[in-house]
Every structure is written in structure tokens, then in C-alpha cells.
Amino acid sequence: MTKEDQLQATVAFAEINKRADSQPGLIKKVNAVIVFDVTKDGKIQKSWTIDGKQGTLYEGKPKEGTTAQVTITVDDNDFVDLASGKANAPSLFAKGKLKVKGNVMLAQKLSTLFKEQSKL
């Protein structure tokens, strides 16, 4: 068992994919290419790419021809808090637990992935 398999973020991203399956167009709402570098014990363990332009979410760095517009580096535990709503991005950022590279304003729409969307 490598350390990678123990990441809670893996489960969290699977959850988000499940949510996206039942709501087509959900990932496109993010409307940006965001990369998450999830760390554990200070070292980057795995990356995930949320491609809001294509509407896909996958493990790893952005594919050929896609550039990340925002890269967020966060610890595994903090990421789970973020995804479940227990913590919010600005407060994590203020505490130094979340590092952002690129256009941070584009990360605003991320919450649509972490929350259930209501219907008119």
C-alpha cells in the first residue's frame, strides 16, 4: 500500500464525480481549469484537475493542451473539510493552510461542486 492510497481526497473527488453524474453541466459551472495539489506530511501526494471548460474531473495534472488557471495546494485533511463544508477557502487561506497560484477569483465557483444545487 503506497501512501497515495490513503488520501481522503480520493474519496472526496469520487463523491464529486458522483454528484456530477447526476447533474450534467455541474462541472462546467466552475468555468475554469483548476488543479488541486493535495499534500500529506508536507509533500504533494496527488493532483486532480477540474476542467470546467470541458466539464471533466480527473486525477493527475492537466492533459495535453490544457493549462491550469488556478493551482491550489492544500493538505489532505484540510481538503476534506473544504469539500464537506466544514471549512471555507478564505479562512483556510488566511490560516496559511491553503496556497493559491494563479487567478484566485476563478476559484470562487468551486463551491458549486461541493454543494447540492437546488432547482427552480
Partner 1 sequence: MTTFKPLVDAECGTTNPLIKLSELYKEDKKLVIQDGINPSLINFSDTNLTINSDTIVDELVNEYHRPIIAPNTFHLESLLKDLHPSDPQYEWTKQFLDSCSTYDLPSSPPQSLTLYEQNYIQSPACFILHPNPIFLDQQPYPIDAEFNNDTVEATNNILSLLQESQFAANTECKTSVNDINVQHDTDALNENKRQSDANLSLFNDQTPSSQLSSGQLNNHTGYKFIQPNPFFDYINPYEEGLKHLEVHDIVNAILFFEAAVQNKHDHTDAWLCLGITQSENGQDVHAIDALKKCIELDSKNTQAYITLASCYANKMLKREALNSLHQWLINHNKYSHLLSNHRLHSIRDIEIIFEDLKNLFLQAILLSKNSNTIDSDLQVCLGILFYLYDDYNKATECFNTAILAKPNDALLWNKLGAAIANSGLNEQAVNAYYHALRLSPGFIRARYNLGKSCLNLNAYRQAIEHFLIALKQQNNVYSQMSDDIWHTLAIAIDCLKRPDLIEYVRYKNLSKLLHEFEIE
Q: Which residues bind partner 1 (CB under 8 A)?
A: 15, 18-19, 22, 24-25, 28-29, 82, 84-91, 107-112, 114-120
Which residue, 60 or 84, has its beta carbon nearer to partner 1? 84
Spatial distance between the Cα atoms of 19 and 14, rounded to a whole number of angstroms:
9
For residues 104 and 70, the answer to whether their CB atoms sit within 8 Å is: yes
Whole-number minimum distance, CB 2 to partner 1, in Å? 25
Which residue, 14 or 60, has its beta carbon nearer to partner 1? 14
Among 91, 8, 6, 73, CA closest to 35: 73
Whole-number minimum distance, CB 13 to partner 1, in Å? 14
Spatial distance between the Cα atoms of 57 and 78, rounded to a whole number of angstroms:
20
For residues 10 and 35, the answer to whether their CB atoms sit within 8 Å is: no
Whole-number minimum distance, CB 67 to partner 1, in Å? 21
Whole-number minimum distance, CB 118 to partner 1, in Å? 4
